[in-house]
Chains A and B, each alone.
Chain A
Amino acid sequence: EPEVTQTPSHQVTQMGQEVILRCVPISNHLYFYWYRQILGQKVEFLVSFYNNEISEKSEIFDDQFSVERPDGSNFTLKIRSTKLEDSAMYFCASGTEYSNQPQHFGDGTRLSIL
């Protein structure tokens, strides 16, 4: 069964450094998402992406965040200058439709900011 894959599984970064989280969505999916989950809390939406542009973004997704689909398979989340509060699990998801269809999630990247 096709799945969303994310790398790395764990990223440790010094505060203020840039980090790039990588995702390979399911191949025939057109809609891509990033979510985050702070330890012990619920999953929170960050951004959705379709046709090479952002469709929606939450208040969390400020100027420090950016997304990119650099080629036909990868989807990346960049945090320009990391803060301690960026420590969380970051999940990539993809779907066949914008709404009313399930989104399929990867197993996440655990980001630890020191």
Chain B
Amino acid sequence: GESVGLHLPTLSVQEGDNSIINCAYSNSASDYFIWYKQESGKGPQFIIDIRSNMDKRQGQRVTVLLNKTVKHLSLQIAATQPGDSAVYFCAENRGSQGNLIFGKGTKLSVKP
């Protein structure tokens, strides 16, 4: 079906290591993608976005990579910190539609 999904439901990393969270999408009409972080008891918090005319976008300690050939999106977090522990969702925006389609989420746990 057409959906945004995630390869791994959980990811555990050592503090200071880099984290990579992956996401697959199936609709080639999607042209805008967002990564959100959700901490316990809170709403999704915007991290970084990317449009389909780009392959890579960098923020502070985060990088999003978009591979349109295989319909794959990834979020890289450099020097992962305990405060990065949360559930991470990718979301896609399909063309002229306003609604976001969310993936299932990956829970990132950072070990001290």
Q: Could you list which residues of chain A lie within 8 angstroms of chain B, going by C-beta atoms?
A: 4, 6, 31, 33, 35, 41-45, 48, 50, 55-56, 58, 91, 95, 98-100, 102-108
Contact = CB atoms under 8 A, between A and B. Distances in A.
B31 A100 contact: yes
A41 B91 CA distance: 14
Nearest to A46: B99
Contact of B45 (A33, A58, A105): A105
A90 to B, nearest CB: 10
Interface string B82-100: 0000000101010111111
Chain B: number of interface residues, binned into ranges:
20 to 34
Contact of A99 (B32, B46, B89): B32
Contact of A56 (B45, B46, B89, B97): B97
A6 to B, nearest CB: 8
Contact of A91 (B34, B44, B104): B44
Given A42-B105, A43-B89, A99 B43 contact: no
A101 to B, nearest CB: 8
A14 B60 CA distance: 46
Nearest to B48: A102
